[in-house]
Amino acid sequence: MSFDIASYVREIALLAVPLLVAVTFHEVAHGYVAYLLGDPTAKAAGRLTLNPLKHLDPLGVLAFLLTRMIGWAKPVPVDARYFKNPARGMVLVAVAGPAMNFLLAMAFSVLFRLIGGLAVAAPQGSAMAMVWEPLAYMCLAGVTVNLAIGLFNLLPIPPLDGSRIVAGLLPPRAAYGYLRYERYGFFLVILLAVTGILGKLLIPAILVLRGLLL
């Protein structure tokens, strides 16, 4: 089966903007919640910015290019010592990223309805159709990408956000032992992706949530 490079490039072009929005807002949400809780680390590092270049991670971009489903950015630095309640603070910071992605998925679904309506109303082959149709597909991709990133990050695999949430609910000693496996988390994610297990875990949930939104 031959590889359709033109189709691949078109797909990446439609996914690129939603992905940049998804990972940028995800990381800013982490940093901003940490800042509200008293941690100035992300702000001092210049990470409370919507400039995606400040957040991109080469491996995360590569993962996106290979899977066209998941990707990640450079983690925003957080210092839990600034929080009055470090365990509770880390849970709130961890939740903020996926929560932002789910909010973005809802926003993109509203835009899809509006722009999709304009695309349908535009005469076939007209200049307006050539503008509205790609934007509608981009909004649809925005729903899917944000749901994928939000759900992916909720997996309880260190160092994903889900592991921070689980660790915050565990006794300190158990949380420490659990997070010690962070060094192996990346390899586990790659293994799950290569074997197809990651897709089997995420795709059904993505489809259900996307169906509800659309």
Q: Which residues are catalytic?
A: 27
CA-to-CA separations, 28 to 46, 159, 166, in angstroms, rounded? 10, 17, 21
What is the Cα–Cα distance from 94 to 71, expressed in whole angstroms?
A: 17
Residue 64 burial class via C-beta count within 10 angstroms: exposed 0-12, middle 13-18, buried 19 and up: buried
Alpha carbon 54 to its chain centroid, in Å, reads 16
Q: Residue 161 carries which side chain, given as an amino acid letter?
A: D
